[in-house]
Structure 1
């Protein structure tokens, strides 16, 4: 891959007269190592990803050596697949800019939100935070479920019934289907977390009956984690009361 990718350094080494400078950051030649690790745009993607890597801390002479080192370090199940997904995303961002002049902001926000209710519909907790990474709608939904499960565990909730209006995601969480996308890796993380709960089930609900989560998501479009215990914002309260009446 290091010598075969159609990047400026490869073209230059083949004798073509091209500008070798990285078109995204303009700070260095576009080598494979720079494209995927050293470029400031790529570093943001790595730091916001599931693996939380700061690629400025690495010191490798080429991208191949870094890959070999990462394969050795990836001991957790599906972690290397996650790394490859991020590399593919970086390549897609680079291609969008080079061929379409479309700059994809790695900090583009997509909010995730959860409403935690007890068995009679009273609020236990509401929470929201933006997803600061370019991702598909299915990935965003999966991130929201993982986000909610993590928070639920942190506050001591051990018996959960999780509802989502994304049928494809529910089927993945129930083990009915598997996808060859980054969303499946997030689902694996979510299911791993459920193994330490007393009980956890997943069910589909129509979007009409999932207004609370969407209202909470709209109210949080910053990177700050926002958690309210036994409370919610005033714009969300009518929807919660309406759902409670319909229980």
Structure 2
């Protein structure tokens, strides 16, 4: 966890160690209580694994979800301090945890129900009349670059158009996902669409767009460009969706063969993707 002088970037008072950051950092005082958990601060253990095991035994199933989400949000906040120069606020991290839990609660509940009943729930949902739903996904290909898959469907569930793009660009996954949304917005505008709903399985991108977040790195520059372009629509909505409900776009983004450049289709997608389209059509709600 070293980032330079080994001093905790959150509190600036102690040596940075995972055992300190998650369970005893003064800069995060009140965090665990703020997310509704009574967690003992680290005092009698030297390694974070010991602390996690100690805490884990005292938590119920839902509390464990909140705990792991809290650890993720703390680490995410720490990285923003180190790499983006942001000021960490406990209230913001608490809100981040609650937003993540709220966004994923429905899809997690459906997954648990499927496990308990053995019946797979229906997936992709058709948009309202007059609205076009555009699913998008990006894949980071090892030693190759990035691949984007996009599919647009109307209220009848029928494919209106699809697209994939492969580029030799090295990107972080969240930047690749943001660029995929950018491409989708540009393509939708070029095709004259006015009312759209964008679905993506990258929660960080969707949250940044919904909350119009700003920052100084490449990711937030892309988000800013997307928001500027989105003003050209009559209406646009951003929605997080689990990968199982984003099958077609995911299939396009990861399908072989991998070839550089753009490929576009009107109505009929490649043969190896049609079974995914048919599945969504049959099971759409």
Report if aligned partners of 2:214, 2:224 keep a CA contact under 8 Å in 1: no
Report whether the alignment pairs 1:122 with 2:158: yes
Report the equivalent of 2:206: 170
TM-score by length of 1: 0.54
| Structure-to-structure mapping, 1:1-247, within 5 angstroms | 108-175=144-211, 177-219=213-255, 221-247=258-284
3-state SS of 1:235 partner: helix
CA contact (8 A) 1:110 1:221 kept: no
Q: What RMSD, in angstroms, separates the aligned Cα atoms of the two structures?
A: 1.6
Query: What is the count of residue pairs matched by the alignment?
Result: 141
Structure-1 separation of matches of 2:223 and 2:206 = 10
Equivalent residue for 2:109?
Answer: none
Deviation, 1:120, is 2.0
Contact 1:117-1:123 at 8 Å conserved across structures? yes
Q: Aligned to 1:232, what secondary structure does the other structure show? A: coil
Deviation at 1:156, TM superposition (A): 1.2
Deviations 1:161-211 (A, max 9, x none): 000000111000101644543111111111111101111100010011111
- C-alpha change, 1:241 and 1:179, in structure 2 (3 Å) is farther
Give yes or no for contact 2:182–2:222 (8 Å, CA) kept in 1: yes
Separation in 2 of the partners of 1:180 and 1:239? 38
Task: Name the SS for the 2:272 alignment partner.
Answer: coil
Unaligned runs of 5+ in 2: 1-142
Residue pair 2:208, 2:223 contacting (<8 A) in 1 also: yes
SS across alignment from 2:236: strand
- The runs of 4+ residues in structure 1 deviating greater than 6 Å are none
Quick check: 1:114–1:216 contact (8 Å CA) kept in 2?
Answer: yes
Aligned counterparts of 2:242 and 2:215: Cα–Cα separation in 1: 22
What is the DSSP-based 3-state SS (H/G/I as helix, E as strand, rest coil) of the residue aligned with 1:135?
coil
Deviations 1:3-57 (A, max 9, x none): xxxxxxxxxxxxxxxxxxxxxxxxxxxxxxxxxxxxxxxxxxxxxxxxxxxxxxx
CA distance in 2, matches of 1:241, 1:113: 17
Unaligned runs of at least 5 residues, structure 1: 1-106
- 1:155 is displaced (CA, Å) by 1.1
| Cα distance, 1:121 vs structure 2 | 1.1
